[in-house]
């Protein structure tokens, strides 16, 4: 099994086992590049509208970046539209967002419902930091906290993280990581083009209903 040197969450250096290579992985990467590239071009008017809405609601900046953990434990900067107030973690440190989080701005609430806050991650996909489908990339500080009680959590790093995935679609936005982990690990074992297409289309349905933060059983 191929392995990769990487810095783990919490500053520990170790080796993260990567998922075995499959021909499907080449096709997936080609599709990621083609679709994200076309998406970045086609989404330019949407980018302009969202930037304007953020500026009118809470002022600049419209974008922000965060360090996340990717494939093999590699760190990268993820791009997002800002959906929280400025300096949202100045007094709390790195914490997971909660439902009805008071730090979320008015336009940010809509962006999160539709997952439009993650649209800039098309650039991460194009660069190879992420894929369209895979486990959600988490912050090193949060990974370190989660791994203390869920050591298997780092198995998610066997593949590229994704914009959407089994845990994102069949879990809930604010679910505990322990509830989402079995879904992520199941995806890593079952991953394939047919499953990716199904998850991608399901994600579009959730976006069209603006129900990414819904607690309903069927979204």
Q: Is 211's pLDDT higher than 70?
A: yes
Tally of CA atoms within 13 A in the half-sphere of 70 that contains its CB: 19
In the chain, at which residue ranges do the beta strands (DSSP E only) sit? 3-7, 13-17, 63-69, 75-81, 131-133, 162-164
Question: Residue range 8-32: average pLDDT?
Answer: 76
Q: What is the pLDDT of residue 8?
A: 43
Q: Are β-strands 162-164 and 75-81 bridged in parallel, bridged antiparallel, or unpaired? A: unpaired
Share of the chain above pLDDT 90, in %: 63
Please name which of 196, 55, 180 lies closest in space to residue 131, comparing C-alpha atoms: 196
Confidence (pLDDT) at 25: 93
Q: In the prediction, which pLDDT does 13 show? A: 43
Which pLDDT score is estimated for 214?
A: 67
pLDDT of residue 3 exceeding 50: no
Asked if pLDDT for residue 195 goes beyond 90, the answer is: yes
The arithmetic mean of pLDDT across residues 115-125, rounded, is 95
- The pTM of this model reads 0.84
The domain segmentation of the chain, as residue ranges, is 3-208
Please state the rounded mean pLDDT for residues 59-86. Answer: 93
Question: What's the whole-number mean pLDDT along residues 165-194?
Answer: 90
Q: What dihedral do alpha carbons 200, 203, 209, 211 form, nearest 10°?
A: 180
């Amino acid at each position: 099994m191929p392995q990769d040197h990487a810095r783990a969450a919490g500053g520990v250096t170790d080796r993260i086992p990567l998922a075995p290579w499959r021909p499907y992985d080449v096709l997936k990467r080609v599709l990621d590049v083609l679709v994200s590239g076309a998406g970045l071009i086609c989404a330019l008017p949407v980018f302009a509208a969202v930037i304007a809405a953020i500026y009118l609601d809470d002022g600049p900046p419209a974008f922000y970046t965060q360090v996340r953990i990717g494939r093999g434990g590699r760190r990268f900067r993820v791009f997002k539209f800002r959906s929280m107030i400025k300096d949202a973690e100045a007094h709390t440190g790195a914490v997971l967002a909660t439902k009805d989080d008071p730090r979320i701005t008015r336009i940010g609430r809509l962006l999160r419902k539709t997952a439009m806050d993650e649209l800039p991650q098309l650039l991460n996909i194009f660069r190879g930091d992420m894929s369209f489908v895979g486990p959600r990339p988490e912050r090193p500080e949060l990974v370190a906290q989660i791994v203390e009680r869920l050591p298997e959590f780092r198995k998610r790093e066997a593949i590229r993280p994704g914009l959407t995935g089994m845990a994102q679609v069949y879990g809930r936005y604010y679910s505990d990581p322990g509830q989402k982990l079995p879904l992520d690990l199941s995806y890593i074992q079952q991953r394939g083009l047919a499953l990716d297409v199904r998850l991608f289309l399901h994600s579009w349905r959730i976006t069209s209903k603006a129900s990414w933060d819904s607690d309903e059983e069927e979204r």
